Amino acid sequence: MLLDDDASSDDEYADLDWDNLGFSIKPADYMYTMKCSKHENFKQGQLSRYANIELSPSAAVLNYGQGVYEGTKAYRTEDGRILLFRPDLNASRMKIGAERMCMPSPSVDQFVDAVKQIALANKRWVPPPGKGTLYIRPLLIGSGPVLGLGPAPEYTFLAYASPVGNYFKEGSAPLNLYIEEEFVRAAPGGAGGVKAMSNYAPVLKALIRAKSRGFSDVLYLDSVNRKNVEEVSSCNIFVVKGNVISTPATNGTILEGITRRSVIEIARDYGYQVEERVIPVDELINADQVFCTGTAVVVAPVGSITYQNKRVEFKTGSRSVYQELYSTLVGIQTGVIEDKKGWTVEV
């Protein structure tokens, strides 16, 4: 559903410096909104111009953090098509997160349709091939008013978009991670395994401190023993030793990343042995290669990890495992490699 003629100026690009996008908000023209009351189902949503929204000061999301979000991307192919990558998995993950946070959620079809509409309405904001992607951010919030602790009486699903380049300021250069020993990201029985909004602000303290010391991001350890690797602030982590690629198992404290899942499948296709298990930090330190995965970061090489004031460096470069996996993943996402898995959805 488009609102006016300029909502889909098919062959025009927005007036942006496509060579220097970075990863910051540049709101595309349109957002999508859908509402429902508690114990009801979401109905048909609608597109509107990107604008501020109105919320009660007592909205559950403002007072108690009742909200989840997702992140997915639209890609422009060399022949001008717009592709989405596995949006059904984002929809399913939002449903799981919503259930954990006692919220109704859109159906998978409603979610995918909303993402398609956002990509189409904001087509001129999808960067040229090789220049970036259109990052689409769906939100599900408790928008109704509450005072005592409890689920909101009303919920709002929102989706907006922004063109983006590389997530890290290093661009495609290897990351330098810092292993955090004071703060933890998640604990057993908590909500670390879902994309709850309330999971993210608590990592800022450690992240800002690490960045002030020159590191790219923080790698967290488990909260019980403080000796097993969990995940980075905004992405999953993989460890390479010989022909074996290992990543921490998603046991309730680690987010089940969609890029993570896709990379595991691609790696197995290439003949690597992929293990999802507990990874002691000592094993990480002795790895041949390390890389991170996520919608925002894609597949990013790790050049070094600092733990207890000791810096360990890892192999990176053109013959690295991450490069092979990155090239295949991005090739499928951008239509350069034939999608034999049914992962992409054309808008």
Known catalytic residues? 195
Is the distance from CB of 72 to CB of 138 less than 8 angstroms? Answer: yes
Provide CB contacts within 8 A for 32, sequence distance 6+: 45, 46, 47, 48, 114, 117, 118, 157, 158, 159, 160
Residue 257's closest CA among 282, 276, 283? 276
On the 0-12 / 13-18 / 19+ scale of CB atoms within 10 A, 129 is: middle
Is the distance from CB of 8 to CB of 125 less than 8 angstroms? Answer: no
Q: Which two tokens stand for residue 282?
A: 């000592």
- Using DSSP's 3-state secondary structure scheme, residue 131 falls into coil
Distance separating alpha carbons of residues 28 and 110, to the nearest angstrom: 21
Strands (E), the chain: 30-37, 46-49, 67-69, 72-76, 82-85, 133-142, 154-164, 175-180, 217-221, 229-232, 236-241, 244-248, 273-277, 289-294, 298-307, 310-313, 344-346
Q: Would you tell me the crossing angle of helices 108-121 and 87-100 to the nearest 10 degrees?
A: 130
Tell me whether strands 175-180 and 217-221 are parallel, antiparallel or unpaired. parallel
Q: List beta partners, residue 112.
A: none
Q: List beta partners, residue 312.
A: 305
Is the distance from CB of 129 to CB of 333 less than 8 angstroms? Answer: no
Give just the sign of the alpha carbon dihedral 256, 258, 261, 267: negative
